[in-house]
Structures are given as structure tokens and as C-alpha cells.
Amino acid sequence: MDAKIKSEHNVWRIRVGDWRIGYLIDHSLKKVQVIRIVHRSEFYD
């Protein structure tokens, strides 16, 4: 399940096991940019 991060504009997250992947979506360029991959305990720091 994808979820938008409330504190950051246009940043989304996806859960993969114990890991979280943060990414941006640029619809005008049809581009997805991965900005961080971290363990779930560190994602919201």
C-alpha cells in the first residue's frame, strides 16, 4: 500500500517487509525518483 507522507509535499512511501521506500512522483515528466530506502525504525527520523 502506498501512502503520502503528510509532512512532505509530493513524497510517497511504500512498505517492503521491514523496509520503507520514500519516493517522489513527477507526473509532468513521467518520472519516479527514489529518495530513500531505510529500515522502518529509521524512516521517520
pLDDT value for 16: 92
pLDDT digits (tens, 9 = 90+) for 2-42: 666 655 677 888 999 999 999 998 889 999 999 999 998 88
Which of the pair, 15 or 44, is modelled with greater confidence? 15
pLDDT value for 5: 66
In order of their start, the domains of the chain are: 2-39 (3.30.2310.20)
CA distances from 43 to 26, 28, 31, 39 (A): 22, 27, 22, 6
Per the confidence metrics, is the pTM higher than 0.75?
no
pLDDT grade for 43, boundaries at 50, 70 and 90: confident
